[in-house]
Structure 1
Amino acid sequence: MRSAEPGDLQALTALEQRCFASDRLSRRSFRHHLRGRHSALLVAEQGGQLLGYGLLLLLRGTRLARVYSLAVEPQARGQAIGEQLLKQLEEHALSRGRVFMRLEVAVNNAAAIGLYERCGYRRLGLYSDYYQDHQDALRLQKLLRAPREQLPVQEAPWYGQTTHFSCGPAALMMAMAALDASIEPNQTLELELWRESTTIFMTSGLGGTHPFGLALAAARRGLAAAVYLNSEQPLFIDGVRSDDKKQVMMLVHQTFLQQCQQAVLPIHYREFDDSALQQWLQRGSAVLMLISTYRMDGKKAPHWVLVTGLDQHCIYLHDPDVESDWQQPIDCQHLPIARADFDKMSQFGAARLRCAVVLANSAASC
């Protein structure tokens, strides 16, 4: 077992062709992962012959790793090569601070499913029509270190934003659907919610969504809503250079504020911490949080996520943004973020804005 090298490229591509009839990794993909900072490509070799490989993705800014692909030479199967590769991938993930491993496997691949379940992977769900040949995929996960106390979990469907500016509506729809099973997230509703809650402008391009606007949109649809933030200043204008844009955003802020006051929608100007998140989740509320994506993608952009749970080590998020070509929706669901990292991630901008929108079926839970 060793790390793959550029000289393995031809053998890796040939092995991929022999092992898979569809959803194959290309030569270009292998080359990308050979030098990737957030991936690990390991190979099994005997007598100069490549017998298998395992590809691991390390989700940036998280405690999550993903087995992207695992392949063993057909003539070499039955020698525990796949199991050894998997163990090496797990050890590498642990050495890089990851505590969860996730993967997907075709429902008709009994041998692979057996391997993963023997190695401690448990079923999380099912993806329909996942592969190019229209096969369904099982979603599996393993906790790589000793079990810890499990605190509240919000069961919520995951929805991926369909535009680069609609993370707020996507997170809001997930929260609404968690509280009301009759609500089905879709693009029509996503854009409708964006129009109701947009800041119009942002640092560049179209505006994101304002917490007051998101809370008002939820209240119009029958949910109790409250906003918690640590600043009374107009939001998001620090990074905007144009005075005209700032003026528009300040007017939008003031209008939303007046609408909240007219609707008697609570706005709490105070600091809050993880203990508040725990209390909200324990009451059955759904919690949207504003974060900075810098630790995840290197961009200092405001981004809305849904908090789905927490334990003594991590905060778990549904992130509506599938950020890269190598990510899948599985990578964005119940995403584990170390508490210390989340504390920094949830403070946006130079003013360290911290903001949450709390939704519930009754005002008492907000």
Structure 2
Amino acid sequence: MKTKPDLQSVTLRRATLDDLNTLEQIENNCFAGDRLHRRSLRNWIKAPHGEFIVAVSQSRVVGYGLVWCHKGTRLARLYSLALLPEMRGSGTAVRLIRELESATAARGYLFMRLEVAKTNQAAAALYRRCGYRVFGEYHDYYEDHSDALRMQKTIQYLSIDKTQRLTPWYQQTTPFTCGPAALMMAMASLDQSQVVDQKEELDIWRQATTIFMTTGHGGCHPLGLALAASQRGFAVQALINTEGPLFIDGVRSPHKKEVLAVVHQQFVEKADRDEHIDVIYAEIDQQRISDWLQAGYAVIILISTFRLDGKKAPHWVAVTGIDERCLYVHDPDAEDISQLAIDNQYLPITRQDFDKMSAFGSGRLRTAVAIKKQG
């Protein structure tokens, strides 16, 4: 009769480059597909935004757990968990998960997410025992076309979110269409019949673009997005904390500044003529966002990406909920190869961080658009 490994003999520590050969062997032993290759394992060992912990028994690495920490938010993802067959049933997997949760929570993260094959009932049961709950599915997720369950756990206490809005996620298809992508998500959260595709994304961008930004194509003006939403049957409130032309702080060319000012004035005049748009020139605070959500509005808001990617770019996101500690957003940008759609949905951002992120540029521009079905 085979004896189960002694859990007391297993120790946990951070992975090092000396573990690379063994980790590669474990990866090949445990997974038929969707493996982390040697180069990826090396990068994860050195990555400052990861928690990479190995289990050691009798001086031999017998398993590992890897967590990816989403920069600028309070969301982490259990990226991979692997254990040699002889260690299964020893309790080592639970210890690895708890150690990863503890290390991740110590970094200030609140939620851990993961995906697991729907057919892998043993692994799903393990995660359920550890407190993870299913909140969705991915179809055709793995190399073998099987589906994945999406699971989540709160790893630090958080009050119950009473204003979370079920919102479909859409990935922007160009670097300059975050505004249309965020607006489509907001509209679809209120009306399932709303079109959410690239054609609609680009159509909204043509309606709402500022023409120029600091470089490249222009992003979207809040009043341009407000007009696009109004034309699609929504009542709109647009809040801006300045009455002057927007997005000119980082523009050096006098000609571009002049064009931006003309476009701004055109949007102001069109919004003033639209009876379904209420333009409010005032500072945004989180209470107003909460009030909007409580009143049934869907909200998109402009943030600076500095805390997400260090680039200080203006970026539109859809707000999906708020509670005592966090605001939750859908981010339409998922260019980072480490990210999956799951990493960009219902992102928890602490209120303190969000307050800093929602002011853009040297002029501290704050702006948001709230929409609601007319009638």
Alignment of 1:33 with 2:44, yes or no, is yes
Alignment of 1:229 with 2:240, yes or no, is yes
Provide the rounded CA distance (Å) in 2 between the counterparts of 1:158 and 1:9: 36
Residue 351 of structure 2 aligns with an amino acid whose one-letter code is R
Alignment of 1:42 with 2:32, yes or no, is no
Is the 1:105–1:138 contact (alpha carbons within 8 Å) kept by the matching residues of 2?
yes
Provide the rounded CA distance (Å) in 2 between the counterparts of 1:31 and 1:112: 25
- 2:13 match: 2
- 2:221 match: 210
Give the Å deviation of 1:6: 0.6
Is the 2:73–2:349 contact (alpha carbons within 8 Å) kept by the matching residues of 1?
yes
Residues 188-237 of structure 1: CA distance to partner in whole angstroms, max 9, x if unpaired? 11111111111111111111111010000011111111210110110001
Residue 163 of structure 2 aligns with an amino acid whose one-letter code is P
Is the 1:230–1:270 contact (alpha carbons within 8 Å) kept by the matching residues of 2?
yes
Provide the rounded CA distance (Å) in 1 between the counterparts of 2:68 and 2:307: 16
Alignment of 1:161 with 2:153, yes or no, is no
Alignment of 1:263 with 2:274, yes or no, is yes
Provide the rounded CA distance (Å) in 2 between the counterparts of 1:75 and 1:235: 62
Residues 114-134 of structure 1: CA distance to partner in whole angstroms, max 9, x if unpaired? 100000000110000011111
User: Which stretch shifts more, 354-363 or 30-39?
Assistant: 354-363
Alignment of 1:51 with 2:62, yes or no, is yes
Give the Å deviation of 1:151: 3.0
Which of 163, 172, 182 in structure 1 is aligned with 2:193? 182
Which of 114, 119, 134 in structure 2 is aligned with 1:103? 114
- 1:126 match: 137
Residues 298-320 of structure 1: CA distance to partner in whole angstroms, max 9, x if unpaired? 01000000010011000000111
Residue 291 of structure 1 aligns with an amino acid whose one-letter code is I
Is the 1:199–1:249 contact (alpha carbons within 8 Å) kept by the matching residues of 2?
yes
Which of 323, 342, 349 in structure 1 is aligned with 2:354? 342
Provide the rounded CA distance (Å) in 1 between the counterparts of 2:160 and 2:366: 26
Provide the rounded CA distance (Å) in 1 between the counterparts of 2:266 and 2:178: 22
Is the 2:306–2:312 contact (alpha carbons within 8 Å) kept by the matching residues of 1?
yes
Provide the rounded CA distance (Å) in 1 between the counterparts of 2:250 and 2:158: 42
Is the 1:154–1:284 contact (alpha carbons within 8 Å) kept by the matching residues of 2?
no
Residues 158-192 of structure 1: CA distance to partner in whole angstroms, max 9, x if unpaired? 11111111100000000110111111311111111
Residues 107-155 of structure 1: CA distance to partner in whole angstroms, max 9, x if unpaired? 0011110100000000110000011111100000001123414231121
Which of 49, 57, 74 in structure 2 is aligned with 1:63? 74
Provide the rounded CA distance (Å) in 2 between the counterparts of 1:146 and 1:354: 30
Provide the rounded CA distance (Å) in 1 between the counterparts of 2:83 and 2:136: 25
Identity level (%): 52
Residues 246-270 of structure 1: CA distance to partner in whole angstroms, max 9, x if unpaired? 1111111111111111213211001
TM superposition score normalised by structure 2: 0.95
Residues 23-77 of structure 1: CA distance to partner in whole angstroms, max 9, x if unpaired? 1101111111111111111100111211101110111111111100000112221
- 2:3 match: none
Unaligned 5+ runs, structure 1: none
Which of 333, 338, 352 in structure 2 is aligned with 1:321? 333
Residue 123 of structure 1 aligns with an amino acid whose one-letter code is V
Provide the rounded CA distance (Å) in 1 between the counterparts of 2:107 and 2:373: 41
| CA 1:147–1:344: 2 relative to 1, 3 Å | closer
Find the residue that maps to 1:192 and give its secondary structure.
Answer: helix
Unaligned 5+ runs, structure 2: 1-11
Provide the rounded CA distance (Å) in 1 between the counterparts of 2:253 and 2:156: 50
Residue 186 of structure 1 aligns with an amino acid whose one-letter code is D
- 1:360 match: 372
Task: Spell out the pairing of 1:7-18 with structure 2 (5 A cutoff).
Answer: 7-18=18-29
Residue 355 of structure 1 aligns with an amino acid whose one-letter code is T
* Count of matched residue positions in the alignment of Structure 1 and Structure 2: 363
- 1:296 match: 308
Task: Spell out the pairing of 1:83-102 with structure 2 (5 A cutoff).
Answer: 83-102=94-113
Residue 358 of structure 1 aligns with an amino acid whose one-letter code is A
Give the Å deviation of 1:292: 0.2
Alignment of 1:251 with 2:262, yes or no, is yes
- 1:310 match: 322
Is the 1:154–1:178 contact (alpha carbons within 8 Å) kept by the matching residues of 2?
yes
TM superposition score normalised by structure 1: 0.97
Residue 209 of structure 1 aligns with an amino acid whose one-letter code is C
Is the 2:159–2:324 contact (alpha carbons within 8 Å) kept by the matching residues of 1?
yes
Deviant stretches of 4+, over 2 Å: none
